[in-house]
Structures are given as C-alpha cells and as structure tokens.
Amino acid sequence: MHAEMLVLQFSRKVVDQPIIYRLVKDFNLEFNLLKAAINPQQEGVIVMELRGHPQDFRRGLKFLRDAGVQVKRVAGEVRRNDELCYQCGACTAVCPTGALYIERPAMSVAFAAERCSACELCCPVCPARAMEVKLNRNAI
C-alpha cells in the first residue's frame, strides 16, 4: 500500500468533472479528504491523503495529470515564525486540519505543529509571511 498527502488544483475546465469518483472506481484508490474548496465554474483545491497499490497510485496520478489537474506532493514542513506573526487570524480560515486555530478566551492564534499536514494553504494568505516552508513540495 502506498500513501501520500496531495494538493490537487482544478482549473475551471475540469472542476465540474467527477475526478475523485474516477480515482476510486477506475483505479481502486482510497482517499481521506482534509479540505475541499470547489465552486462550480471556478477553480478549486483539494487536500487529501491518497492510498492504494503502487501501480494503481501511479496510474491514478497519470489520469489526474491527463485530465488537467495540477498535482503537488506535500513533502515539506511548515513552521510559524512567531516573531513575524501578528495574530491577525487570516490563516485559521484556510487551515484544513485545525493546526491553526483561535484560542479562547484570549482570542490569540495558536499553531499546533503536530496537527499540520504541511499542505501550505496558509502560506500565501499570511500577510506577514510568517508561515514558512522548510522543504518545498514538488510538482508530480
């Protein structure tokens, strides 16, 4: 069994197609969805762990690429630079695992590194660039 955490980015052209259904049905793959933000007629992003026999996994990735889905492997480590973070909270809206969350009653933004999947969705939304990637994920 092979398993990897992936970020799939869908263009407008393919966002309405049953891509994930095909991965399960045609390639015998299993998935654990962490985040799906897809709007009809617009671009979308899915963060998920994909599992299956290595050969099925490779065939499934080829199917995704051929369908026009951009697939990136989560291979890095994401850390917060606490000196840069000014607690604005923007990152908590996109974090799929709850690693970034509002701590009450102080209303401070906490980072639980052990829950982080290194999907990097928080990096571009942080105005302070406080979320840093140690190793870059690779396009596959």
> What minimum distance in Å lies between the beta carbon of 43 and ligand SF4?
18
> What minimum distance in Å lies between the beta carbon of 23 and ligand SF4?
22
Position of tokens 């980072």? 111
Q: Does 7 bind ligand SF4 (CB under 6 A)?
A: no
Burial of 48 (0-12, 13-18, 19+ CB in 10 A): buried
**Per the structure block, which two tokens stand in for 104?**
């009450």
User: By C-beta, is 13 or 129 nearer to ligand SF4?
Assistant: 129
**Per the structure block, which two tokens stand in for 35?**
């985040």
Span near ligand SF4 by CB under 6 A; candidates 1-9, 14-22, 63-71, 80-88: 80-88
Residues that bind ligand SF4 (CB under 6 A): 78, 80, 85-91, 94-97, 99-100, 109, 116-122, 126, 128, 130-131
